[in-house]
Amino acid sequence: MELLLLFILIAAEILFLIFEAVKKSSDKKTWTIRRLIVNAGEIVLYCIMLLLPGIDTGFRFTGLIILLVVRVVFAGIFALANRKKTGIKKTGLKVMSLIVSVILICGAMVPAFLFTDYEGRPVTGPYTVTQCNCILVDESRIEAFENDGSKREVPAYFFAPAEAKEGEKFPLVVFSHGAFGYYQSNASTYLELASNGYVVVSIEHPYHSFFTKDTSGKTIIVDKDFMNGCMNANGDMQEEDIYKLSRSWMELRAADMNFALDALIAGADNNDTGCYWFENDSSRKDVLDVLTHIDTDKIGLMGHSMGGATAVEVGKIRDDIDAVIDIDGTILGNIKGVKDGKYIIDETPYKIPLFELENSDSYEGLQEIAKIDYPYPNITIKDTAEIYYYTYFEGSLHMDYTDLPLFSPFLAKMLGSGDVDHAYMSDTVNSLEVRFFDCYLKGEGQFTVNEYYPGVN
């Protein structure tokens, strides 16, 4: 429908130019009045198309709405300004008006083609979900990405059951996003878990996330050196260089997650929120209310990509974590060095239940690596973990384990999305994650998983 709307608006502009050529009326007064009528007519056309599916007044069409309104206003101003003029409107200017109009309309329509009208997946749990947020300020760490001596900040976003009764407690699940990700990367997962009786906290890693905000309101974008490092690591970089970079990444992220966990536990058990920064009193109240419903004896960790590696690493070094999910992440923390051009892998048994999900390409790559007996962390952990589950989705790629393909298929395809049924895959993955945590955080049922799942329903 977006393409049909674009076609109709451009057709209106072309027909206007043809009409002017046939009528051969060249005075400015007549042209500006007709220009006003056409611009107003385009707004009417857009309003009529709101009756069709896929056309709405949401953010995808905000730019177009503004453009159409502004064009009517300016056309009205020019019509008034030229009401007494009899000068000739040159053909070249009319053609230029058409070209500019088409460029502006196409530009305003870009979001409609980049994004969908995605509003989330249906949840299956009995609870509605409440959301709130704060920023956790780590006074023990200086922000290494700044030169002003500021402290490291970890934004935290809460998703929790809205109808929690007084004294009712829910397991805590902390999520870490991938490189260049942000806190909403897997929002459908948070909402599904929260609807089934979990408090989910999605943390952000400033300068590793695509963008976030600090306590001053400043927008923090991804660090260019971190971005370049990630891009090069996926290219021809040698193992020694990858190890040095990944070690620094994991140290920062693990410290963020450890700090967030300590702050959340202290806030829930002791009402100690000294390191919490709230945007306003309403946010403070909402967060404090959610904290009272966290069961700190039942904690799970999860993350996507580098966030999955972070979850695995923190689960290994803490004794208060009960289960971990690694969503398509290379377990960088288990790389302990490099010798003779090969990784040295930590073979210490993984003590807590671990569930790994991988994309189809990664699965095939691991099969090839296993054949040549090359040391690789995601292979080693299968043999060393005491309770281990693994699956993949046929035809899936890395970004298919986030919500991006549902929100923007175009961008997801550019970053790595396969030919799968994204709604089906999202619902299936979320269901598996709920059942895994139900088993190991709530003690409900037995968790089983297929070796693989089809990418389409």
Give the per-residue pLDDT at 365. 84
Considering only residues 383 and 159, tell me which one the structure prediction assigns the higher pLDDT.
159
Give the per-residue pLDDT at 25. 62
Q: What is the DSSP letter of 123?
A: P
Report pLDDT digits (tens) over 331-377. 988 989 988 888 888 889 999 999 999 999 988 888 888 778 788 88
Nearest Cα neighbor of 40 from 11, 15, 8, 70 is 70
SS3 (DSSP) at 221: strand
Instruction: Please determine, for residue 233, whether its predicted confidence score (pLDDT) is greater than 90.
Output: no
* Confidence bin at 301 (pLDDT 50/70/90): very high
* Confidence bin at 406 (pLDDT 50/70/90): very high
CA distance 113 to 63: 13
Q: Which of 83-87, 128-132, 182-186, 381-385 has the highest mean pLDDT?
A: 128-132
Under 8 Å between Cβ of 359 and 421: no
* Confidence bin at 26 (pLDDT 50/70/90): low
Amino acid at residue number 275? C
Give the per-residue pLDDT at 53. 79
CA distance 197 to 442: 10
CATH superfamily, with its number, for domain 129-441: Alpha/Beta hydrolase fold, catalytic domain (3.40.50.1820)
Give the per-residue pLDDT at 37. 86
Q: Tell me the percentage of the chain whose pLDDT exceeds 70.
A: 96
Q: Dihedrals φ, ψ of 103, to 5°? A: -60, -45
Neighbouring CB atoms inside 10 A of 256's CB total: 25
Strands (E), 86-150: 129-142
Considering only residues 181 and 234, tell me which one the structure prediction assigns the higher pLDDT.
181
The mean pLDDT of the chain is: 90
Instruction: Please determine, for residue 30, whether its predicted confidence score (pLDDT) is greater than 90.
Output: no
Strands (E), 144-188: 151-161, 170-176
Report pLDDT digits (tens) over 114-154. 888 788 899 999 999 999 999 999 999 999 998 888 999 99
CA distance 387 to 438: 15
Under 8 Å between Cβ of 279 and 154: no
Considering only residues 55 and 92, tell me which one the structure prediction assigns the higher pLDDT.
55
CA distance 39 to 11: 13
- Answer positive or negative: Cα dihedral of 324, 189, 200, 248: positive
Report pLDDT digits (tens) over 269-281. 999 999 999 999 9
pTM of the model: 0.87
Give the per-residue pLDDT at 86. 61
Q: Please name the helix (run of DSSP H) or strand (run of DSSP E) that holds residue 167, with its range, or none.
A: none
Question: Among the listed ranges 88-92, 128-132, 165-169, 320-324, which one has the minimum average pLDDT value?
Answer: 88-92
